[in-house]
Amino acid sequence: MMGKVTLRNLAAHKIRLVLTAVAVILGVAFVAGTLIFTDSMNKQFDDLFGRIGTNVAVDVRAKKVVEGDDDGMAAQPVPATVLKTLQGIDGVKDPQGNVNGYAAVVGKDGKIVGTAQDGPPQIGTNWSTGGTYDLASGRAPRGPDEVVIDAKTAEKGKLAVGDTTRVITAGPPARMRIVGLVDAGNLMGATLTGFDTPTAQRLMLKPGYFSDIEMGSTGPSQSELRDRVAKALPQNLEAVTGEKLREESKSDIAAMMSFFRTFLLVFALISIFVGSFIIFNTFSMLVAQRTRELALLRAIGAARGQVTRAVIGEAVAVGVVGSTLGLAAGAGLASLLQTQMGDAGQGGLTFTATPVIWSYVVGIVVTVVSAYFPARRAAKVPPVAAMRDDVALPQRSLRIRIALGSLLTLVGAGLIGTGLAGKGGNPPVPVGVGAFAVFVGVAMLAPVISVPVMKVLGAPFALLMGPPGRLARQNALRNPRRTAATAAALMIGLALITTVNVLGATTRASVDEQVDAQFGADYLVEVQGAGGIDAEAAQRIRTTPGVASASPTYEGNALVENKKAWYMSGDAAVIAKAAKLKITSGGTGIGDAGIMVDEGTAKARGWKVGAAVPVQFADGRTEQLRLAGVYAKSNLIGPRLISPQAHLRHTLKPTVTTVVVDASAPSAATKGALESSLKDYPNLKVSDQASLKADARKQVDGFVTFLTILLVMSVIIAAVGVVNTLALSVIERTREIGLLRAIGISRRQLRRMIRLESIMIAVFGAVLGMGIGVAFGAALQNALADKGLGVLAVPYGTLGIYLVVAAVIGVLAALWPAWRAGRMDVLKAISTE
């Protein structure tokens, strides 16, 4: 019987439950879209790496100074003489040396093809016939001025076989003729450039060296051949199986995609968390409106458990429908994400069981859990209540709610503080749990907070809008629990958006302060991408009219006390002036075997000026460097500054990353002259103090916008919640609305009343959320003050805009409920029980 009751109730409340399902759909869509998207990208990467090294049995490479590190800490490349040694080992088939490095192609428009900064790699290699890729047209390169490029790069750069183009590497741009196009398939946005082996060595490595040497097998297994090869290698080289080589490449991508999946799922969980408030509120109102009906069921013999199961059955139905539609919407979202990936997203979608399972698990479980407490309240309706006309569900005292909400808020704040202080091992966990506790705690306290706040927010409306304004304020105050539950959903989304915007404003202000305090050079010439500044470019900079001095700097990684350590290298006196270093002890006379460190590093290691600091460089050799000076913390220089002579002694192919420029008289004309001198170098950028700030702001603004867009989903769900609450409230107040119409209130005034009530609820949620967001942002800034966020900045203008947006959301959310209320028949409304 109760099954029929459940089906009847679903049919009777279609519109209300459809609105509830929207919250489920949006939350599930985020989860499903994330899982489908990352599964699709993983499949594309697997296909890409499946083509690489398919015939490689063993690969010979240099041992790494830091195990598992892939960003420049590898030892010296493999000498070409090793190739002859490998040819004499039994079982080795066709050993071949590879040269890999950075090489970018300049298109017809004079710009580098592909993303030069923080994008997919721009791969340069020595071309070998019969290798991983095949030529689509043309022929292989045969000399120092010939090159082959992948077909997609040629298409984007509007290049063809026979064209002459510039190729950017670590050295000077080389003018080369395109002699062939490579069929590279989907490189996921990367570019591929191939040279003959001598040219590749000269441009990207060093003559007589390979990045690695790969070989096939004439019979022995990969592990057996690896052991044979390893015995013939020098101590600084190692042999790995082709299978391990491919797994390493895949594991790096898998780690990246795992992080990206987790990152997106966090926002999906936020949307689901917000949606749970909507579901809870909707079922609470549905149960409250059906109190007499439920009492009648109890009166004719339905047990408490049956009533509970009937309501839960409705929740399961909503969860199933919402999950199904959410899964379909998730596929659309995944497709949209792929289109935003450019070339990396052209492989189509991959569907596995994982997103399907999780979509239904998340959708149904969240809906049922959110509806559980309203269902239990429904079961507690006494049968005698069926005999009363004014029956209503009993309301618990707010005392327990206030106590529990206060406790959760305080515990959450404590966990956030613990996580931000770096205690507890994994800071994101206590911070995330703490934020969750704060949101739940504030949501529990919201009914108490809403009464005084709504009185203040509603006062202008009551004063200026007459009876509709006064009625709207009374309606919002009538049921503080409902008002709070509706506003809480909007509170969460805007709290997180506000936190992101406060951090963005704080970062911009902090960067501006750091540039003002620590940037003392007139100009910096920086590399965009993975290349370098060659000697010819450096000479052009030095001879530019108006330039007084130009000093190159390098970057590198080393081991200091067996820990990976990034360092800068260059003329210490020039760098100290350019970065406005505050020397606290010693000086900048580091000579050809010296080092300077910041105060934090010196204190942590117990180093004093004159101490010997053992540094193991990328070539595996260790050198004792003398500590020449200690300086105050500098975010521009970092914790270590090493003499250029020491860096150059241990670097096979030195790469200048930045040139510090001082001008005789800094001006727009001097900057323009520098840019004109470097017009043949599209990978170099001239920056002054203003452009450094602008670049930093652009990066911060882009990241803030990206996070805000992801969080907008939760705000949309919250808006749906406002619509749902108002629609149910209109139904609940049908008789009241009829009486208002009967005593003379017009349809226009009635609609205005509902719109004003919606605006008050939305603005209340926004004020609460922005207050929490500012508090979160201030806490994060305080915790990260020593990491560079030294200035707290609150974007009041942006928050004002969000407040207006919240009011607009309130207006839009009220359109349908207000229209429906205005269309009610007065006599029927009055006669409604």
| Spatial contact of 806 and 763, defined as CB atoms under 8 Å apart | yes
pLDDT at residue 147, rounded to an integer: 95
Provide the pLDDT confidence category of residue 71 given band limits of 50, 70 and 90.
very low
**Residue pLDDT, tens place only, 363-376:** 898 888 888 887 77
- Residues above pLDDT 70, as percent of the chain: 87
* Position 178, amino acid: I
**Residue pLDDT, tens place only, 4-56:** 656 665 555 566 667 677 778 888 888 888 888 888 877 777 766 666 667 78
**Higher local confidence (pLDDT), 327 or 37:** 327
What's the mean per-residue pLDDT of the chain? 83
| Element at 148 (helix H, strand E) | strand 146-150
Poorest-pLDDT segment among 84-93, 512-521, 566-575, 814-823: 814-823
- Of the ranges 336-350, 643-657, 778-792, the best mean pLDDT one: 643-657
Provide the pLDDT confidence category of residue 820 given band limits of 50, 70 and 90.
confident
Which distant-in-sequence residues (6+ apart) come within 8 Å of 537 by Cβ? 172, 525, 678, 681, 684
Provide the pLDDT confidence category of residue 263 given band limits of 50, 70 and 90.
confident
| Bridge partners (DSSP) listed for residue 165 | 176
pLDDT at residue 69, rounded to an integer: 46
Tell me the two tokens of residue 211: 């990045």
| Spatial contact of 729 and 817, defined as CB atoms under 8 Å apart | yes
Query: For 530-586, where are the alpha helices, taking DSSP H only?
Result: 535-542, 572-578
In this structure, the strands spanning 622-631 and 612-616 are antiparallel
pLDDT at residue 225, rounded to an integer: 94
Poorest-pLDDT segment among 148-157, 207-216, 286-295, 633-642: 286-295
**The whole model's pTM is what?**
0.79
pLDDT at residue 714, rounded to an integer: 81
**How far apart are the C-alpha atoms of 443 and 409, rounded to whole Å?**
10
Percentages helix, strand, coil for the chain (3-state, rounded to 5) are 60, 15, 25
pLDDT at residue 741, rounded to an integer: 78
pLDDT at residue 163, rounded to an integer: 93
pLDDT at residue 582, rounded to an integer: 92
Q: How far is CA 654 from CA 78, 203, 354, in A?
A: 17, 12, 47
**Residue pLDDT, tens place only, 631-661:** 998 888 889 999 999 999 988 778 888 999 9
Is the predicted pLDDT of residue 73 greater than 50, yes or no? no
Poorest-pLDDT segment among 291-295, 407-411, 637-641: 291-295
pLDDT at residue 174, rounded to an integer: 86
In this structure, the strands spanning 174-183 and 78-79 are unpaired
pLDDT at residue 24, rounded to an integer: 83
Provide the pLDDT confidence category of residue 478 given band limits of 50, 70 and 90.
confident
Poorest-pLDDT segment among 110-124, 137-151, 405-419: 110-124
Reference 275, options 241, 318, 328; nearest CA is 318
| Spatial contact of 415 and 434, defined as CB atoms under 8 Å apart | yes
**How far apart are the C-alpha atoms of 94 and 666, rounded to whole Å?**
58
Q: CB count, 10 Å around CB of 252? A: 14
Q: Which residue has the tokens 């117990």?
A: 606
**Higher local confidence (pLDDT), 235 or 130:** 235
Is the predicted pLDDT of residue 608 greater than 50, yes or no? yes
pLDDT at residue 397, rounded to an integer: 62
Provide the pLDDT confidence category of residue 804 given band limits of 50, 70 and 90.
very high
Is the predicted pLDDT of residue 251 greater than 80, yes or no? no
Provide the pLDDT confidence category of residue 593 given band limits of 50, 70 and 90.
very high
Poorest-pLDDT segment among 427-436, 504-513, 553-562: 427-436
Provide the pLDDT confidence category of residue 68 given band limits of 50, 70 and 90.
very low
Phi, psi of 726 (to 5 degrees): -65, -40
Poorest-pLDDT segment among 78-82, 387-391, 788-792: 387-391
Is the predicted pLDDT of residue 481 greater than 60, yes or no? yes
Is the predicted pLDDT of residue 766 greater than 70, yes or no? yes
Q: What is the mean pLDDT of residues 253-264?
A: 75
Is the predicted pLDDT of residue 502 greater than 90, yes or no? yes
Nearest 5°: CA angle at 516, between 514 and 519? 85
Poorest-pLDDT segment among 8-17, 165-174, 406-415, 799-808: 8-17
pLDDT at residue 485, rounded to an integer: 78
